[in-house]
Structure 1
Amino acid sequence: MEPHLLRLLFGLLLSGTRALAGYPIWWSLALGQQYTSLGSQPLLCGSIPGLVPKQLRFCRNYIEIMPSVAEGVKLGIQECQHQFRGRRWNCTTIDDSLAIFGPVLDKATRESAFVHAIASAGVAFAVTRSCAEGTSTLCGCDSHHKGPPGEGWKWGGCSEDADFGVLVSREFADARENRPDARSAMNKHNNEAGRTTILDHMHLKCKCHGLSGSCEVKTCWWAQPDFRAVGDLLKDKYDSASEMVVEKHRESRGWVETLRAKYALFKPPTERDLVYYENSPNFCEPNAETGSFGTRDRTCNITSHGIDGCDLLCCGRGHNTRTEQRKEKCHCVFHWCCYVSCQECIRIYDVHTCK
């Protein structure tokens, strides 16, 4: 590893340690091995770092749901990395730090808004899916949406109970967001925006039954959207996130911070929109204080004029080009019946990386 990256990583680890007091470090359970054995080791709840008392009680009372909670956070991180794969900040995680994103989430930026939304949505999604698959005795199929059948179809299968998944996410992910400050208000708002994206896009999913696909009988059930669709929708909300300002109010419990839209001429954000109140760094250069890894050595798209293109992703520093040989399957032939045979070809590609 390059010396400047080693220094940056060391700085990120130190910064992450300093930031643990207000950091959702329970997200780190998605990157470790402990979540795979949560169902069989109830005492393990006490070893999960960063749980506030309410989360610890939830973990102990509903231990069989915890693997799904961890899987949901992991799902959210993976989707974040997919959505930002061509951006200057590409949702990088640090495996050896409890603050798995480093100091990037210390600021109330668009990036923080998206990560909270996608992680909370991931928890709701994974718990809902687990319940429908019958892996938990605490939940099951949704029986509330079954009304009279539509024309040409009837209810069947296992409708997914997204309301239960959202409830679990709300109880667990929002447990620490009870402080009277602006950051807690922002996190809670964005958490809910992520979960609402799932609820807003529940839909009927149907399957045909009959000879030769005749669809004599069609059964339908209530289903979640694909999580990739959830990620796409939240990425759009990231791009149009609303900038807020912090206001202080005196209440009986003391000073309370709330958020107000910064620009009165724009439509105020709804509960489905993402909000933030601090500007993002440009992420062009390595910076331990902001958590930026920079974009040096990142692969860029020479044909794109967007943020993934070599001009923007490389921040005007230029790019290097090298050739790579890759083995690929080619000249594939289908043989009756039933296999495919392929040859192996070597193809040469140009790879462009930022200076």
Structure 2
Amino acid sequence: MEMRLFGYYLVLLNVKQVIASYPVWWSLAVRHQYSTLATHPILCGSIPGLVPKQLRFCRNYMEIMPSVAQGVKIGIQECQHQFRGRRWNCTTIEDNLAIFGPVLDKATRESAFVHAVASAGVAFSITRFCAEGTANICGCDGRHKGQPGEGWKWGGCSEDVEFGGMVSREFADARENRPDARSAMNRHNNEAGRMAILDHMHLKCKCHGLSGSCEVKTCWWSQPDFRVIGDYLKDKYDSASEMTVERHRESRGWVETLSPKYALFKAPTERDLVYYDPSPNFCSHNPETGSFGTRHRQCNLTSHGIDGCELLCCGRGHDTRTERRREKCHCIFHWCCHVSCQECTRVYDVHTCK
């Protein structure tokens, strides 16, 4: 009995340690019990890892919590797309509060990217939800009512990216209020993700006129496709700035700040990603660092990039097997209006890392 109690307290201790050091509210995006947020009410207190400010936000703005969850989800999906051919492929772990495992425990480039893309996802999702016109607390951006351009006028629903960014800032940054280097890094990268959306806002227009002519156009302020944000943040990941941690005393006590490690390089701007820990070796399986390794990962034999068999397999070589796949072929368009196809068997070579 005493041993069971001891084990129970150890589990509680581990959960508290995870919650204290990890944004476990990201589990909103993947855990089964939160997948019905949009259709079923949920008790905010049942969401693990919420700090008091997030808990108050959840209770006061329950209407937009499904969009918060959806924002984290599209951020994670974009992460997995961007890193699909790399040694670290943004894998999530089921039934784990820390959905990325120990990978994000360190202040690495990977941590920088995930924070940026998740915060951007929340801002993006909230902004799009408000523009749909069904929310009570937000709607279209009414500031774009000034002088139109030549050949067009303001119309439609301009997306209120300022409101989406504010929600992301209030919720995603709520736990990043500690005077340590990791909080400073997370705040910086969260904001860089949100600014990526702001910088890519553009005019979207619709033509009006006889036979679809563009005699008159109405335009509104719109977010880009989220893939554009993912591509942009992936470039920022590749050029992320390495920082050093400096400690200095203030009236509130010791405070950690970040400064560029290499003075000869251009200092990072608020739009750049920053980190200060080296990334682990993702070639081999290592539970301590959260690396799954690249064994059995599919690689591209003809590529000389990171997705190629030489680099992705870390020099260990690869195995090749053949697969037969049944696919549609010899498709013909019939007027009007359907397509008929035959079914063919094709043989593919599949290469996987040793």
Q: Same fold (TM over 0.5)?
A: yes
TM-fit CA distance, 1:328? 1.3
Q: Give the corresponding residue for 2:139.
A: 140
Distance in structure 2 (CA, Å) of the matches to 1:101 and 1:37: 22
TM-fit CA distance, 1:209? 2.1
Amino acid of the structure 2 residue aligned with 1:319: H
Amino acid of the structure 2 residue aligned with 1:346: T
> CA 1:244/1:227 → structure 2, altered by over 3 Å: closer, same or farther?
same
TM-fit CA distance, 1:63? 0.3
Amino acid of the structure 1 residue aligned with 2:158: S
1:207-241 per-position Cα deviation (integer Å, ceiling 9, x unaligned): 11233321222111100011000000000000000
- Partner SS, residue 234 of structure 2: helix
Distance in structure 2 (CA, Å) of the matches to 1:269 and 1:254: 27
Amino acid of the structure 1 residue aligned with 2:96: S
Question: What 5-or-longer segments of structure 1 have no aligned partner?
Answer: 1-13
The answer (yes or no) to whether the contact 1:19–1:103 under 8 Å persists in 2 is no
Amino acid of the structure 2 residue aligned with 1:254: G
The answer (yes or no) to whether the contact 1:17–1:98 under 8 Å persists in 2 is no
Q: Give the corresponding residue for 2:49.
A: 50
Q: Give the corresponding residue for 2:259.
A: 260
Distance in structure 2 (CA, Å) of the matches to 1:189 and 1:161: 22
Residues 215-254 of structure 1 correspond to what in structure 2 (within 5 A)? 215-254=214-253
The answer (yes or no) to whether the contact 1:76–1:119 under 8 Å persists in 2 is yes
Tell me, yes or no, if structure 1 residue 204 matches structure 2 residue 203.
Answer: yes
Distance in structure 2 (CA, Å) of the matches to 1:341 and 1:210: 37
Q: Give the corresponding residue for 1:66.
A: 65
Distance in structure 2 (CA, Å) of the matches to 1:92 and 1:151: 48
> CA 1:36/1:288 → structure 2, altered by over 3 Å: closer, same or farther?
closer
The answer (yes or no) to whether the contact 2:31–2:95 under 8 Å persists in 1 is no
Distance in structure 2 (CA, Å) of the matches to 1:300 and 1:16: 36
> CA 1:40/1:300 → structure 2, altered by over 3 Å: closer, same or farther?
closer
Q: Give the corresponding residue for 1:314.
A: 313
Q: Give the corresponding residue for 2:180.
A: 181
1:90-140 per-position Cα deviation (integer Å, ceiling 9, x unaligned): 000001101000000000000000000000000000000000012311100
- Partner SS, residue 123 of structure 1: helix
Question: What 5-or-longer segments of structure 2 have no aligned partner?
Answer: 1-12
Q: Give the corresponding residue for 2:106.
A: 107
Distance in structure 2 (CA, Å) of the matches to 1:214 and 1:228: 30
Distance in structure 1 (CA, Å) of the matches to 2:38 and 2:330: 48
Amino acid of the structure 2 residue aligned with 1:188: R
- Partner SS, residue 277 of structure 2: coil
1:281-302 per-position Cα deviation (integer Å, ceiling 9, x unaligned): 1200000110000000000010
The answer (yes or no) to whether the contact 1:16–1:103 under 8 Å persists in 2 is no
The answer (yes or no) to whether the contact 1:72–1:123 under 8 Å persists in 2 is yes
Higher relative contact order (CA closer than 8 Å, sequence separation 6+): 1
Q: Give the corresponding residue for 2:333.
A: 334
> CA 1:16/1:92 → structure 2, altered by over 3 Å: closer, same or farther?
farther
Q: Give the corresponding residue for 1:10.
A: none
Deviates more, 1:204-213 or 1:247-256: 204-213
- Partner SS, residue 215 of structure 1: coil
The answer (yes or no) to whether the contact 2:18–2:97 under 8 Å persists in 1 is no
Distance in structure 2 (CA, Å) of the matches to 1:239 and 1:348: 36
Q: What is the TM-score with the length of structure 1 in the denominator?
A: 0.93
Residues 341-352 of structure 1 correspond to what in structure 2 (within 5 A)? 341-352=340-351
TM-fit CA distance, 1:37? 4.3
Distance in structure 2 (CA, Å) of the matches to 1:248 and 1:18: 24
1:215-269 per-position Cα deviation (integer Å, ceiling 9, x unaligned): 2221111000110000000000000000000000101111000000000000000
Distance in structure 2 (CA, Å) of the matches to 1:125 and 1:203: 14
The answer (yes or no) to whether the contact 2:75–2:120 under 8 Å persists in 1 is yes
Amino acid of the structure 2 residue aligned with 1:179: R
- Partner SS, residue 19 of structure 1: helix
TM-fit CA distance, 1:145? 2.0
- Partner SS, residue 242 of structure 2: strand
What's the C-alpha RMSD, in Å, of the aligned pairs? Answer: 1.5
Deviates more, 1:143-152 or 1:105-114: 143-152
- Partner SS, residue 43 of structure 2: helix
Deviates more, 1:164-173 or 1:324-333: 324-333
- Partner SS, residue 54 of structure 1: helix
Distance in structure 1 (CA, Å) of the matches to 2:203 and 2:15: 43
The answer (yes or no) to whether the contact 1:38–1:64 under 8 Å persists in 2 is no
The answer (yes or no) to whether the contact 1:203–1:225 under 8 Å persists in 2 is yes
